[in-house]
Structure 1
């Protein structure tokens, strides 16, 4: 934990009253991308992102096009935590390329610099809570040692960590998208956190069934690689989509395409008829971005921003649960002043 003490009497009656009167928790968003997570926080009506950072110029411009937040485009490693405003919440999904099966110390591997940057900012800003997101493989890396090390790291910085593997399809997002959601709550106010129960499913027809046929320029026309043809890439109208990927060439097929035919292990072919991938607009709708939202950049960049995002609808459901949890925790903490060293 940092050297400074967390004095709980800073959580005073004014702070609780501020939230009860509809004032929003302030958010700093790291690795923000186009802002899928922040769109969800905004839609929950309990949070306001006032600062966002990403290294991708197109994503930063997309974020700035819909948000009033201060958007700082650049390498997070070069940003001093003092230059980030004081906030109630920090968010960020960190890459995990450096995590391996070699043991829990790998959480501090030099290749995990972005994880360390998230941890650095959280330690410096001491928000009430933070939200993280990662691929499901994080839970099994190193036979669970990596996840244990992350829990221990944030514990040393003053936070209890709650995490759960969720499928976005269970929360109104029409795609199978399994992700680990991490919620950290500062120990001096923590009274526990429970992940939201599933809210229901929506199929592809419900979301994109009435969308017009796209302009060919809005659909990736790249050749279908052997990797693409190694598995089925199509779901039907009454199903949810496969995961929307960040790589344009790997975007899956529109339900109007003919069914794929399995020829052998890891070898499929297209059926007879017109086959096409989802357009970027359809991919955005499946990710639950608002209708008509524009993304800056060329076609490859648009698909990348959309596929890398946290689905706003999933983020909204999680945000509502976190909001009520924090309001209740702050009310209780206000009655019991204590100091955590």
Structure 2
């Protein structure tokens, strides 16, 4: 199925770090960026990525990669691991996963792409009273980049899901980029009905049927057809309920129960992938838990597309304008 869903000619090359199954990559490829090299430590995610991509996908920890083997490209992008930053679980300033972004910074410093794009969870903004986020921005600035950060909600860009994410776009200083305008929200949101109305009923083996934990029952997990979904998480047993399920009823603070009258079930992994705006014909590798994990860890494709369109226009405008001497050959 490679290239089956891409409709734009690539003009800029890219390296993708912490790429996962490739939600960010697909969105950028659809807007003119060709991923030529990608890396992730999850073997199933790498196998999924290789299904749709022509990139060289290197599976392994970023700290074990020899950077001299990574090609020079026009862009570097990726969603560095966010578990230590997330608002949905315990947050630790000294979480080892919080330092993996430094490899991203190091590669940007060595390869000097025109632009980098980084994505992370909303929780990164408040970790350490904001000091961690400011330090990350400063790290990129010190490597010679003008950095533009923005908190975006994927539901504003054609994704049927509330999913707030921080996007960092950095342009190399010698491009003299003084302003970058992020995409404006769409006039209408895509609802669960819009996204799933033509999707057939899933097979039982496509749905996580693990017991519902006390954590799951601590808040409402269901939204109606005319709304967008709650955030799709990486943990299968925390995936929200399908809108055909009965409403949840609040009993007390942090305590809910299921209503009656219909079958209660989570979204299937295929439905979760559609809510994340992956192509419907993309098959994910691995077992059920792994598929949910890959989908929940991904950047929604439509959110990536919206950002990529603005980055592409600005970069092309810059390179074709007053900075002709900066233009290098691209594929």
Which TM-score applies when normalising by structure 1? 0.87
Distance 1:335 1:25, change over 3 A: closer
Instruction: Name whichever of 168-177 and 86-95 sits farther off.
Output: 86-95
Q: Work out which structure has the larger RCO, using CA pairs closer than 8 Å and 6 or more positions apart in sequence.
A: 1
CA distance in 2, matches of 1:37, 1:53: 13
Query: Offset of 1:331 from its aligned partner?
Result: 2.4
List gaps (5 residues or longer) in structure 2: 1-8, 87-91, 327-331
Distance 1:246 1:96, change over 3 A: closer
- 1:190-229 residue pairs with structure 2 within 5 A? 190-191=176-177, 192-199=179-186, 200-229=188-217
Map Cα deviations across residues 33-52 of structure 1 (whole Å, 9 max, x no partner): 000001101122x1100000
Distance 1:141 1:231, change over 3 A: same
Structure 1 residue aligned with 2:3: none
Larger radius of gyration: 1
Structure 2 residue aligned with 1:72: 58
Structure 1 residue aligned with 2:154: 168
Q: Structure 1: which 4+ aligned runs deviate by more than 4 Å? A: 96-100, 106-111
Query: Offset of 1:145 from its aligned partner?
Result: 1.9
Q: Is the Cα–Cα contact under 8 Å of residues 14 and 36 in structure 2 kept in the other structure?
A: yes
CA distance in 2, matches of 1:281, 1:129: 33
Q: Is the Cα–Cα contact under 8 Å of residues 115 and 172 in structure 2 kept in the other structure?
A: yes
Q: Pick from 221, 225, 249: which aligns with 1:233?
A: 221
Q: Does 1:28 align with 2:15?
A: yes
- 1:151-162 residue pairs with structure 2 within 5 A? 151-162=137-148
Query: Number of residue pairs matched?
Result: 310
Map Cα deviations across residues 52-82 of structure 1 (whole Å, 9 max, x no partner): 0000000000000110000000111111211
Map Cα deviations across residues 81-117 of structure 1 (whole Å, 9 max, x no partner): 11001100001112356679xxxxx999865331111
Q: Pick from 262, 285, 306: which aligns with 2:274?
A: 285
Map Cα deviations across residues 278-302 of structure 1 (whole Å, 9 max, x no partner): 0000000000001121000000000
Distance 1:237 1:109, change over 3 A: closer
Query: Offset of 1:190 from its aligned partner?
Result: 3.4
Q: Is the Cα–Cα contact under 8 Å of residues 107 and 149 in structure 1 kept in the other structure?
A: no
Q: Is the Cα–Cα contact under 8 Å of residues 246 and 304 in structure 1 kept in the other structure?
A: yes
Structure 1 residue aligned with 2:127: 141
- 1:254-333 residue pairs with structure 2 within 5 A? 254-272=242-260, 273-333=262-322
Secondary structure in 1 matching 2:321: helix
Q: Does 1:119 align with 2:73?
A: no
* RMSD of aligned Cα (Å): 1.9
Q: Is the Cα–Cα contact under 8 Å of residues 10 and 34 in structure 2 kept in the other structure?
A: no
Query: Offset of 1:144 from its aligned partner?
Result: 2.1
CA distance in 2, matches of 1:126, 1:287: 31
Instruction: Name whichever of 297-306 and 266-275 sits farther off.
Output: 266-275
- 1:31-50 residue pairs with structure 2 within 5 A? 31-44=18-31, 46-50=32-36
Structure 2 residue aligned with 1:52: 38
Structure 1 residue aligned with 2:4: none
